[in-house]
Structure 1
Amino acid sequence: MSTNKSEEAIKEKILNAAKKNPKGISDKDIKAAVPELSSGELVAAINSLLQQGCFDLFNQCGSLIYRLKAQTSKTAVKGADNEEKVVYNLIEEAGNKGIWIRDIRVRSNLANTQLTKVLKSLESKKVIKAVKCVNASKKKVYMLYNLEPDRSISGGAWYQDQDFESEFVDILNRQCLRFLQQRADKIKNNVRGPIVGRTQSYATGAEVHKYITDLGISNVTLDVEDVVTILNTLVYDGKAESSVYPDGSKVFRAIESLLPPPGLVQVPCGVCPLIHKCYSKGLITPQDCTYMNEWLE
């Protein structure tokens, strides 16, 4: 009996640690939350919680991350009225991209006053949350409390509280370029010839990502996709070029620019989540971009 109580107490401590970190916890975080656990007990407790469906499991930069499943929030709406259940289900269906209040109102057929009351009730129970969109500062979407917003909503690593982190992007930009230049300088006088040297001067996003991670200059966890985004800004700035290997992987190398760089990284275009839509619509100049004008204000 005491053993079962002890196991339940351990699980409760792990779950409490996960609730405090909606983005997920690692083995290191769990050990810090429950330092008395041995390695064997840690594995047993985590496996038990995974079997019970308490966690979603992710691989982040080689480390396992345990994120509390959003569905565990359903316990908060078990005793709720039908209106709360309807709104909750609509928000759950929207996933991590969220849903506008207007769409909730249309699909639930609730009046504005009643819908506002329901949303406030679910927010107070920490079942759902409202998230501002980086591409529309006045727009809020609702999603389940434990979900991490999609990059199209949050802007990813380049935004903090919906503010574009230009200094952070600039630092990463310079460090990525430094890595590519060091790679190019190292093999500039390759004895096997200029063609082989040129080929070897290319670096993959994973290689640059490892370099940035080892530097420890980022307070947020960056993935390879984030670093590739930065490398693309170097290409836009004319400081690097990209190529594609036969296996489909994209690679980058530093180049000597003949023209002054346009400075895309100084404005949000280089890391804007809407850049592909922007180009597809032909909005080439900043004056034509509504998002740019909002950022400048």
Structure 2
Amino acid sequence: MLYSLCATYFLMDTPPTRKLGAQRKMLYPAIDMLHMLTYNCYSEKDVNEGEGKVKGSDNQVKLVYQIIEDAGNKDTFHLSNLPLTEINKILKNLESKKLIKAVKSVPDRSVTGGAWYSDQDFESEFVEVLNQQCFKFLQSKAEAARDSKQSPMVQRNSSFATSHEVWKYICALGISKVDLSMEDIETILNTLIFDGKVEMTIIAAKEGTVGSVDGEMKLYRGVNPIIQPTGLVKTPCGLCPVFDDCHEGGEISPSNCVYMAEWLDF
């Protein structure tokens, strides 16, 4: 029945891409996406060129090629309902036509969590250090602008820094064991924006300018809060999530509070 449906569909005047898509939907129950393979499409190959080379191949070859093509820069999946010998044969056939290549399996950022995770554990201390250093850099820019004694508008403009400048500063410190991207630094800067410590503005920039994307550039600067928080809020007790459970003689008490000790040791 499956063969007759495929044959009927291919007799219709339908573009090849839609034919392949329909085939894939009909064959989809036979796919068990469980085990990772290390095969990716050549990113430099033209899609139409690839479709032309698999034209005339059987449904299994087209299906495997389509799945690898859809995977992009991520690993593709093992078709467990196909015999391993058949899978290897198809892969070698596609490799011989230079439509795919075997690459070393490198987990995607969506799987590893990127620079903020190590062995699946969130590196909160590392993130906090980056927060402090990024804010310190922007504060120094703002202080240098104020000390310049120029007009208020010039001071304000010179207090801004691009994400590329912040990225260069962090890289020069050598505090990261992993390579950080501009996107990583912008993520840190966004957390500072949410904390009310930094503000961002977007300006137009010439194409090709370092740090610009699509003719736009993000600028950041450290800011002081408009209203200073009360003294109680500044203490650990003011923001303590276990404040109601804290009492002398208990498991949580002021005498053994690590946050209070750190606050008094500044």
Q: TM-score range by the shorter chain?
A: 0.3 to 0.5
TM-score by length of 1: 0.43
TM-score by length of 2: 0.48
Give 1 or 2 for the bigger CA radius of gyration. Answer: 2
